[in-house]
Structure 1
Amino acid sequence: MTEILRYTAFSTDPEGGNPAGVVLDARDLDDSAMLAIAADLGYSESAFVLPGSAEREFHVRYFSPLVEVPFCGHATIATAVALSERIGGGPLVFDTAAGRIDLATGAGTASLTSVPTSSAPAPDHVVDRALQALHWNHSDLAWPVHIAHGGAGHLIIGVHSRDRLAKLDYDFDALADLLRSEGLITAHLFHERSTDVFDVREPFPVGGVVEDAATGAAAAAFGGYLRTLGKVPTPRSLVIHQGEDMGRPSRLLVDIDPTDPRVVVTGTAVSIN
């Protein structure tokens, strides 16, 4: 019988963070079985682990309730912590559809080094459709809207007002259609609380989920976005607060180096089984 673990990532509280399903031995599961498990759990993503080519190396796949996704940050953190609790802390390597992910693990904590990130301005028609789906206006925008990648594609939108995030009420189908048409996974909606501290909300209608409580892949993409905008002249460390408006507070630590296109995302994880 397949053992299905449940962890929440980017929190030390089982009532916080973003829950993920974790299957540490998925050798007997085909695609339809993995998707069925992810749909039954109902979490934004679940991770399925297969043996890799060397010790402490694993092939990992990620499924939302509706589709397979190339990479998921919070499920990666959850899986890395679950593995470290069983085989000991230290380095891990995950071979994913997005590429190689190097990890460092310790007691209840993991840091992932993303694939190379990239970011570019979103076309005007994408911005217009996104604002319409979000019920926002151009006057709400405080930052350039970009399409950024950090293992998966994300639409990055920064607003002037924290209150605008708090009152988020978007058109699920319209945003899903837009993101799918552009090959994107989520919309990364952010407000700059203070220097190096950001509040984030993350609609994920493509995966059949209204909102993610923590999104490590988007945090990596956001690091690439800031680098592209010239906001990382020297190494920079960020704190991202996400999930607060959902009642599942999450804390993501993001380290960006101007000389390295990769981004390091760090978080805790705890079992909720």
Structure 2
Amino acid sequence: MGVPTPEILRYAAFSSHSDGGNPAGVVLDASGRDDEWMQRIAADVDYAETAFVTGEAEDGSIVIRYFSPIAEVPFCGHATVATAVALAERGRTGSIRFATSVGPVEILVSRDSQGIRAAFTSIPPTVTNLADDALAEILHLLGLTPDALDPELPPRIANAGNPHPVLAIADRAAFDGFAFDPDSARALMDARGWPATITVIHRSADDRFVARNIFPVGRITEDPATGSAAAAVGAYLREIGAVNVPSRIVIEQGAHVGRPGLLTVDIPASGGIVVSGHAVAIELRR
């Protein structure tokens, strides 16, 4: 007899509705499975990422890996939230510790009137300058000029698990209206070694932002809700002094691709950034 195929779960993260937020695949028992198997499952699921629980570390933390339809990625926030909620629904509550390829990630699971909510704390982030030529390439990709940028929010690369170029657009119409060629975006991201998203934001209020995250993989062009990018944005805002710390912001994302979601970002004075949101199971129609 062959080894039984683990159950492949599907969750919408950063939403309390299955038709919002960012869909993630979740496999709670991928122990003994090799990279080829996980990559094939991620391609079959065809979401931005699928998370695989591959075992338990010596310290009791849960070993987790993340695959997009085309490659393994170091960290994925929305799949982390989805996996934590899936574990909570099966009796794992309170604090959960994931062992990821970028380091340990702590998740706190709670319940409120909208369902189960998970909050993860990123690794200690870094923020560096975005090279002028890289910025020029991104602006060309988006069909924008430098005067579209918000002068109070200068471009940077922020890394809270994945490196994300972060660009802020001053005008809401320009933010809503930019377009890009997915193949050109993929080529740029591969050439620059950016495994996750190019993050484009607009500040709609002191504590509220809208975000679009460029992430061309398979049929996907924009990511509906990006936890690692939300953590990167929190680190970026702290680094450039754009918020008073400690601070909480809310990021709206996904409306541009028909899957609106909300990401809550808590920004302490130092250390990892806390990103939280709900997740709900997606029931496949037969």
Q: How does 1:223-262 map to 2 (within 5 A)?
A: 223-258=234-269, 260-262=270-272
Matched, 1:152 2:156: no
Query: Among residues 8, 16, 38, which one is paired with 2:12 in the alignment?
Result: 8
Aligned length: 272
Instruction: Kindly state the Cα deviation for residue 122 of structure 1 after the two structures are TM-superposed.
Output: 0.5
Q: For the residues of structure 2 that align with 1:49 and 1:250, how far apart are their CA atoms? A: 25
- Give secondary structure in 1 for the equivalent of 2:24: strand
Matches within 5 A, 1:1-273: 1-53=5-57, 57-107=61-111, 108-142=116-150, 143-184=153-194, 185-205=196-216, 209-258=220-269, 260-273=270-283
Shift of 1:179: 1.9
Distance 2:33 2:176 in 1: 40
Does structure 2 conserve the Cα–Cα contact (< 8 Å) formed by 1:64 and 1:207?
no
Give ranges in structure 2 of 5+ residues lacking alignment.
none
CA 1:189/1:72 → structure 2, altered by over 3 Å: closer, same or farther? same
Q: Which runs of 4+ in 1 moved over 4 A?
A: none
Amino acid at match of 1:120: T
Distance 1:207 1:64, change over 3 A: farther
Provide Cα deviations, 1:167-216, integer angstroms capped at 9, x if missing partner: 23102222222222222121101000111100001011267730100000
Question: Over the residues paired in the alignment, what is the CA RMSD in angstroms?
Answer: 1.5
TM-score scaled by structure 1?
0.96
The percent identity for this pair of structures is 43
| Structure 1, gaps ≥5 residues long | none
Q: Distance in 1 between matches of 2:32 and 2:227?
A: 28
Paired with 1:119 and 1:94, the residues of 2 have a C-alpha distance of 23
One-letter identity of the residue aligned with 1:103? I
